[in-house]
Structure 1
Amino acid sequence: MSTDPWGRVDDDGTVYVRTAEGERAVGSWQAGEPAEALAYFHRKFEELATQVELLEQRVRGTDLHPAQAEASIVKLREAVATANAVGDLDSLLERLAALTDLVAKRREEVKAAREHARAAAREVKERIVAEAERIAEHTTHWKTGGERLRQLVDEWKAAERIDRATEAALWKRLSAARTAFAKRRKVYFAGLDEQREGIKAEKERIVAEAEALASSTDWGNTAAAYRELMRRWKAAGRATREAEDELWARFKAAQDQFFQARSAVFAERDASLRENAEAKEQLLAEAEKILPVSDARAARAQLRGILERWEAIGPVPRDARDRLEGGLRRVDEAVRKAEEAEWQRSNPEARARAQTTVNQLRKSIEQLEQRLAKARAAGRAKDVADAEEALAARRSWLAEAERTLAEFS
């Protein structure tokens, strides 16, 4: 008979292991010496010890999910308890018991972290709902309001889920806010359509008066009447684009008919108007020096002075009028565009919206990166794919938002 601290081989070749509960037969050995039998069953023990050590490393060195860890511990504990091996099996069970305590602690930590994440997600979703309700109740910037509501829905989807009842209640409020915004916008544009119908009716009256004056030969009074009609036209506001284009074409046709007839009568006087044309040629050259516009305000002031002198010069021959007026209009259009660009760059509300968009997207990306890291650590392939797809979209939106913000610099 051969023995060692953890087992022995009986005379009949039966191999026993010693545990705190006593001896237990683990096999028999008939092929050789007892020392060989013990060596064989020691190797079986070493294999189990290696498995325990690997599990310890996974539990202590990684973020192995508690449920997976507990399942592994239970499986390995059963293997140790019934192992056909010779060695300090009790020490392996003690190590597994220590791991069980550690995993229980880890489970509590995971539970606390999950509760914290849900509380944070609830705060995020409550903020989203509150902002959506403010937009629905107060905003009159329909385009930006609609865009912001779509962004809030994306932020909602990107946020962590919370308990079902709270999630459903908050989503119901968010949906109600979107519906209320859509109804207010619809009412606004319905009123706008009604207003445009009134503008169309007013401009139809203006056009009728203009067409009635088209054949007049009372040059002075009729020209003054057309100026008054133009003032009323501008003061009336804008109808729909289709109605505006059609009515303006009729108004201009009537006006052109009158002024063309007057020009024909005054053709004999064109010679005396050549001096005016030369003076306006000089003014046009002076105006063109404003371009390209580097200072919109200074350019407008300079052009205003030129326009005052232009008007003071008086009429020019018909064959020069369109070219001169067109040249001055091109300068005025360039100055106007420069003013619009300057206004866009200096508009604090637009800049603030652009900055808010960038901030929100950065925050959304940070949250998604956290979700992606958790999904990768937990080995959730679908969640990883979803998070990566969402991140790619947010990063693309952020790049565009940052370019928009840079335009305000």
Structure 2
Amino acid sequence: MTHQPQSDDQQTPAVSEETASAAAPTPTPAAVKPSPAARPRRSAAPVAPAPAVPPTPVEEAAAFARVSEDGHVVLIDGEEEVAVGQVPEATQEEALAYFVRKYDDVRAQMALAEQRIAAGAPSSELGKAVGQIRTAVDERHMVGDLAALRTRLAALETLLSDYRAAEQEARQAAQAEQLAAREAIVAEAEQYAQTPAERMPWKQASARMAELFDEWKAAQKAGPRLGKSVEDGLWKRFRGARTAFDKTRRAHFSQLDAKSAEAKQVKERLIARAEELSTSTDWGVTAGKYRDLMDEWKRAPRASRKDDDALWARFRAAQDVFFAARKAQNAEIDREFGENLKVKEQILADGQKLLPFTDVKAGRRALNELRGRWEEAGKVPRGDIRRMEDGFRKLEDALKQAEQEHWQRTNPETKARTNSALSQLEETIAGLEADLEKAKAAGDQKAIARAQEALDARLQWKQALEASASQLR
């Protein structure tokens, strides 16, 4: 069979001698285990430039070929001879060099495949490239050491197999990580969806649910694809959690709005009543009504914070109108009663001069005169009422105390009881004095001591009774 040379645009580019340096070493399987982070998700890796492969010297390749004078080239592959083609109108050396370049092209493709494995290119693309190399080697349209080429190709195929296994392992690990991340997002969303409305931190939860949706989209975009059934199942759960959360939130805030509207109506009615009372001049009664309104306000339901603050400001303003008017009225009254206060302060000063009351009759007359002046003086400012009343009450208490003491001194029954006790005590003392003399005459020291002790006690008692009797006279 005659193999005609291909046109330039159909040939695999040959590696020039100027760029060749040294043959690329064959990587070992352990050197090409892919890193999950190093490879793109599924996009095709950019095609790297062909590595520099030194051309095979024609004189070395001549050991694996025979070339006829008419340009027919035969490959010597071990014990086999294979006609690889003819290069018409070329010297034997040129014909041989043509098919040697094809051999070098395959070596360059192998080196490129090894380089792309080391760079982490997708195994699907690498498998196609290695398959094309395998076809070229099997067809043997080249001249060179085919045995060495097959050995290197076998190593490359083993390397690719290990690479595919490592890539699969990395892909599974990345998918497991992606699944865990998605599961965590779904679980957190479901936790919010299952939280009762009354215990939900709505502001924080709403912000977090929005963040979870962003995290879902980012994970879906960046991470490896999960199986369709897994993706659909997780999305269904996540979408269901978000829907349940939104439904609960709408129902919750709708209920709050209804309660707020009801609270506003209740407090609007309280404000209306407060505004009606604001112009009243019945100070005591109206102040009591305002206290009742305040109690009702505290028991009323709360509206939204903004509405409640505005309602309270109106309610407080109505009260302020009334209490400001009452304060102004009291201030005017206090100014009118200021002179009365001066008079009563002088009355209290005059009463202090009567203390202590030694003559209860004269004291009673003087205090009655002061009371008359007190009544005539009239009212004093509200802030001084208690102080003035307490001051006059002290004068009255002092007179009552003096009268009580005078009665005790002049009570006939008390005087009679005192005189009778003195008489009995004097008789007892006389008996004790006689007992003491007898003990002394007998020289009985114990009897003397007992008699003297009893006598001394009675003498002290007698002294106290005599002092009390002198006060009763």
The two structures have a TM-score, normalised by structure 1, of 0.57
Whether the 8 Å contact between 1:15 and 1:29 is mirrored in structure 2 is no
Matching residue's letter, 2:65: G
Matching residue's letter, 1:49: R
Instruction: Note closer, same or farther for the CA distance 1:254–1:96 as it changes in structure 2 (3 Å cut).
Output: same
SS at match of 2:279: coil
Counterpart-to-counterpart distance in 2, 1:184 and 1:221: 49
Whether the 8 Å contact between 1:122 and 1:162 is mirrored in structure 2 is yes
Whether the 8 Å contact between 2:84 and 2:140 is mirrored in structure 1 is no
Residue 136 of structure 1 and its aligned partner are, at CA, apart by 0.9
Q: How many residues align?
A: 271
Residue 240 of structure 1 and its aligned partner are, at CA, apart by 4.3
Instruction: Note closer, same or farther for the CA distance 1:209–1:17 as it changes in structure 2 (3 Å cut).
Output: same
CA RMSD of aligned residues (A): 3.2
Residue 48 of structure 1 and its aligned partner are, at CA, apart by 3.1
Pairing partner for 1:155 from 195, 215, 221:
215
Instruction: Note closer, same or farther for the CA distance 1:194–1:23 as it changes in structure 2 (3 Å cut).
Output: closer
Pairing partner for 2:103 from 45, 56, 72:
45
Which residue is 2:260 aligned to?
A: 196
Counterpart-to-counterpart distance in 2, 1:226 and 1:148: 46
Asked if 1:5 corresponds to 2:63, the answer is: yes
Instruction: Note closer, same or farther for the CA distance 1:237–1:92 as it changes in structure 2 (3 Å cut).
Output: same
Which residue is 2:153 aligned to?
A: 96
Instruction: Note closer, same or farther for the CA distance 1:168–1:225 as it changes in structure 2 (3 Å cut).
Output: same
Which residue is 2:179 aligned to?
A: 122
Which residue is 1:55 aligned to?
A: 113
Counterpart-to-counterpart distance in 2, 1:244 and 1:25: 98
Whether the 8 Å contact between 1:199 and 1:239 is mirrored in structure 2 is yes
Matching residue's letter, 1:208: A
Pairing partner for 1:27 from 86, 90, 108:
86
Pairing partner for 1:168 from 232, 235, 239:
232
SS at match of 1:12: coil
SS at match of 2:281: coil
Q: Quote the sequence identity (%).
A: 43
Instruction: Note closer, same or farther for the CA distance 1:111–1:253 as it changes in structure 2 (3 Å cut).
Output: same
| Greater CA drift, 251-260 or 162-171 | 251-260
Instruction: Note closer, same or farther for the CA distance 1:165–1:228 as it changes in structure 2 (3 Å cut).
Output: same
Whether the 8 Å contact between 2:86 and 2:95 is mirrored in structure 1 is no
Structure 2 segments unaligned to the other structure (5+ residues): 1-58, 337-381, 384-473
Instruction: Note closer, same or farther for the CA distance 1:11–1:239 as it changes in structure 2 (3 Å cut).
Output: closer
Whether the 8 Å contact between 1:226 and 1:255 is mirrored in structure 2 is yes
Structure 1 segments unaligned to the other structure (5+ residues): 273-313, 316-409
Residue 7 of structure 1 and its aligned partner are, at CA, apart by 0.7
Residue 164 of structure 1 and its aligned partner are, at CA, apart by 1.1
Residue 179 of structure 1 and its aligned partner are, at CA, apart by 1.6
Which residue is 2:190 aligned to?
A: 133
Whether the 8 Å contact between 1:17 and 1:26 is mirrored in structure 2 is no
Counterpart-to-counterpart distance in 2, 1:36 and 1:197: 100
CA deviation digits over 1:74-113, x for unaligned, max 9? Answer: 2233344446532113422332232122212222222232
Instruction: Note closer, same or farther for the CA distance 1:12–1:181 as it changes in structure 2 (3 Å cut).
Output: closer
Pairing partner for 1:65 from 84, 104, 122:
122
Instruction: Note closer, same or farther for the CA distance 1:178–1:58 as it changes in structure 2 (3 Å cut).
Output: closer
CA deviation digits over 1:251-302, x for unaligned, max 9? Answer: 3453243234334434536879xxxxxxxxxxxxxxxxxxxxxxxxxxxxxx
Which residue is 1:112 aligned to?
A: 169
Asked if 1:216 corresponds to 2:280, the answer is: yes
Instruction: Note closer, same or farther for the CA distance 1:97–1:119 as it changes in structure 2 (3 Å cut).
Output: same
Pairing partner for 1:16 from 74, 87, 103:
74
Matching residue's letter, 1:173: R
Residue 67 of structure 1 and its aligned partner are, at CA, apart by 1.0
Instruction: Note closer, same or farther for the CA distance 1:65–1:235 as it changes in structure 2 (3 Å cut).
Output: same
SS at match of 2:173: helix
Alignment of 1:225-264 (within 5 A): 225-240=289-304, 244=308, 247-248=311-312, 250-264=314-328
Counterpart-to-counterpart distance in 2, 1:220 and 1:29: 132
Instruction: Note closer, same or farther for the CA distance 1:186–1:97 as it changes in structure 2 (3 Å cut).
Output: same
Counterpart-to-counterpart distance in 1, 2:238 and 2:318: 54
CA deviation digits over 1:162-199, x for unaligned, max 9? Answer: 21112212221222112222222222223222322332
Whether the 8 Å contact between 1:52 and 1:92 is mirrored in structure 2 is no
Matching residue's letter, 1:94: T
Higher helix share: 1
Whether the 8 Å contact between 2:74 and 2:81 is mirrored in structure 1 is no
